[in-house]
Chains A and B, each alone.
Chain A
Amino acid sequence: MRGRVLFDGEARGAALVLREPLSLWGGLDPETGVLIDAHHPQRGAVLTDRVLVMSGGRGSSSSSSVLVEAIRTGSAPAAILLSEPDLILAVGAAVGEELYGRRIPVLALDATDLAGIADGTPLRITTGGEVHAG
């Protein structure tokens, strides 16, 4: 699969497929990497080092800060795959790289491709937006 690059990079991790979009602000504890949104069906999931798969970033414009703080603490996901391009998350990833030198690729995939990713699938992302299984 190939996605549109919102922020380029390489990553490896098991897919964490969110059944609903997640706003990282109010949704992710950047100290622990735990999903804390009380309204989200997957509350309690740990995002750290997973390839986060969700349709969109939803809601708050503070999500970029939470992503950068999670990058700083080391609790961030390994990569983020979306079907809706999200500049809030792309810019968060870019600032994370500027400040802390760790790149978290953010890609927008075709909705059908995204829906085909099963939770837990090991994924490898290479520069230019390639997504490989295994």
Chain B
Amino acid sequence: MSVALDDHERAMLAGEDGAGAALAMRLVLLAADALQAERLIPISRAHVDSCLHHGQASQDFVDRLLAGGATVRVPTTLNVGTLDLLHPELWRGSAEAAARGRRLMESYEALGCRPTFTCAPYQLPDARPARGEQVAWAESNAIVFCNSVLGARTERYGDFTDIACAITGRVPDAGLHRDAARHATVVLRLAADVPAELREDDGLYPVLGIVLGRTAAAQVTVVDGLLRVSEDRLKAICAAAASSGSVAMFHVVGSTPEAPTLDAALGGRTPQREVEITLDELRAARDALSAGSGAALGDAIGAVSLGTPHASAAELAAIAAELEGDRVAPGVELLVSTSRGVMEMEAAGEPISRLREAGAEILVDTCSYLGPILRPTPLPTMTDSGKWAYYAPGNIGARVVFGSRRECIRSAVTGRLWRDAAVWGSH
């Protein structure tokens, strides 16, 4: 093993902090080897995704850590679990599956993690790392957001590695923890034929994320030529890009902290590739997200799922405003996912009341594409999330139609698939 360890790290590996910490240190060292790091560095926080039940293996692993006396060494937030612990009645699966999901979530709390249960920990003011902070974050959208939008530093940590870093308080000194890997090597621009109406529409950003993920693969990309992009729109890019590609970081000139200029994002170097995305390519990417649904304009829809990643207070307010006092059509389920942390924020109180009055359900602690939460329907389900559109067909067999928030809400109110032709053109 080529990683140099200090005395404390060697002691942890030798089991002086218990068998759980020793197992965690073995995993951190394996990650360090994979990333060819020469040493480990301390972290100030972690965000852990391992609390979602993927089978008996999930529980077997955390039981091993608990039996070994492990506990987290840094403030650690938790990603979504299997079920909404605050609204358990929304679970439509078996009682056994709910119990397994709950037990795993509680086991991670027992390791000392905060029960935040959100894929958007960056929306919680006290969980948001500052620019330059070294952290270990898991959950693909959160990783991209952490690096790109916050300018904090994490590699792409996955299940097991995330909690191992939290227990040891260490990460490999490699990859995106270091300056060199954070500069863009690909430049992406929207072509001149992409109209201003589309650039100002929420529906563009998940589609742009899908295209970015596919274009970039694992390279850092800088998007040039956009006007100031809001944090929630950046979030939509993050989630979609991490679904269609192995993206861990991107820049948007003028909107993300390490890209005040194109040259800064590129680290002063010439890009390896420059890619222009046309309106037709965006339309094709948008249509591909709905391709498996077989749905056409005007078709009856069964459900609408919003809030993937978890809706911010501002997004909850925007959804409530978009409803304009209308009610969800009879027979249509409108489900909005957010976090228990956001739900408790003052700014979220009134929008949530209005959403419930309109007939919407609010889901926390989990996501509607992870298990049996939506009412089963043979009809299409609409979403404004590129990530939800990407994964829901495989995960829960949904017939997904992707649309902007406005398209989703208008469809939920009328019960029929509606498109805003003014934004995407008549094609």
- A binding-site residues for B, Cβ under 8 Å: 6-7, 21, 25-27, 30, 36-39, 56-66, 68-69, 71-73, 84-88, 90-92, 94-96, 98-100
In the complex the two chains form, is A84's CB within 8 Å of B246's CB?
yes
Chain B residue numbers with a CB within 8 Å of A56 are: 217-218, 246
3 shortest A-B CB distances, which residue pairs?
A: A69-B55, A88-B158, A61-B158
User: Cα distance A44–B56 when bound, in Å?
Assistant: 24
Residue of A whose beta carbon sits closest to that of B157: A61
In the complex the two chains form, is A65's CB within 8 Å of B23's CB?
no
**Interface residue B52 (Cβ < 8 Å from any Cβ of A):** yes
| B85-93, B135-143, B294-302, B316-324 - the one binding chain A | B135-143
In the complex the two chains form, is B158's CB within 8 Å of A91's CB?
yes
Chain A residue numbers with a CB within 8 Å of B34 are: 6, 85-87, 90-91
Against A, the Cβ 8 Å flags (1 = close, 0 = not) of B380-393 are 00000000001101
Q: Which residue of the partner chain, among B55, B61, B158, B395, contacts A30 with CB atoms under 8 Å? A: B55
Chain B residue numbers with a CB within 8 Å of A39 are: 288, 390
Chain A residue numbers with a CB within 8 Å of B159 are: 61-65, 88, 92
In the complex the two chains form, is A65's CB within 8 Å of B50's CB?
yes
Residue of B whose beta carbon sits closest to that of A85: B34
Chain A residue numbers with a CB within 8 Å of B50 are: 65
Taking the closest CB of chain B, its distance from the CB of A37, in whole angstroms, is 5
Taking the closest CB of chain A, its distance from the CB of B216, in whole angstroms, is 12
In the complex the two chains form, is B140's CB within 8 Å of A68's CB?
no
User: Cα distance A37–B244 when bound, in Å?
Assistant: 11
In the complex the two chains form, is A84's CB within 8 Å of B394's CB?
no
**Interface residue B418 (Cβ < 8 Å from any Cβ of A):** no
Chain B residue numbers with a CB within 8 Å of A25 are: 54
User: Cα distance A27–B23 when bound, in Å?
Assistant: 28
**Interface residue B205 (Cβ < 8 Å from any Cβ of A):** no
Q: Which residue of the partner chain, among B27, B143, B390, B391, contacts A91 with CB atoms under 8 Å? A: B27
In the complex the two chains form, is A64's CB within 8 Å of B161's CB?
yes
Chain B residue numbers with a CB within 8 Å of A73 are: 55
**Interface residue B31 (Cβ < 8 Å from any Cβ of A):** yes
Residue of B whose beta carbon sits closest to that of A7: B30
| Pairs A–B under 8 Å by Cβ, sample size 22 | A21-B217, A26-B394, A39-B288, A60-B140, A60-B243, A61-B139, A62-B158, A62-B159, A65-B55, A65-B158, A68-B160, A69-B55, A72-B57, A85-B35, A87-B34, A91-B34, A91-B158, A91-B164, A92-B158, A92-B159, A98-B64, A100-B57
In the complex the two chains form, is B35's CB within 8 Å of A87's CB?
yes
In the complex the two chains form, is B245's CB within 8 Å of A99's CB?
no
User: Cα distance A7–B161 when bound, in Å?
Assistant: 14
Residue of A whose beta carbon sits closest to that of B23: A98
In the complex the two chains form, is A61's CB within 8 Å of B162's CB?
yes
**Interface residue B355 (Cβ < 8 Å from any Cβ of A):** no
Against A, the Cβ 8 Å flags (1 = close, 0 = not) of B20-39 are 00010011001101111000
The interface centre, meaning the residue of A58, A85, A87, A92 with most chain B CB atoms within 10 A of its CB, is A87
In the complex the two chains form, is B156's CB within 8 Å of A88's CB?
yes
User: Cα distance A88–B156 when bound, in Å?
Assistant: 8
Residue of B whose beta carbon sits closest to that of A106: B34
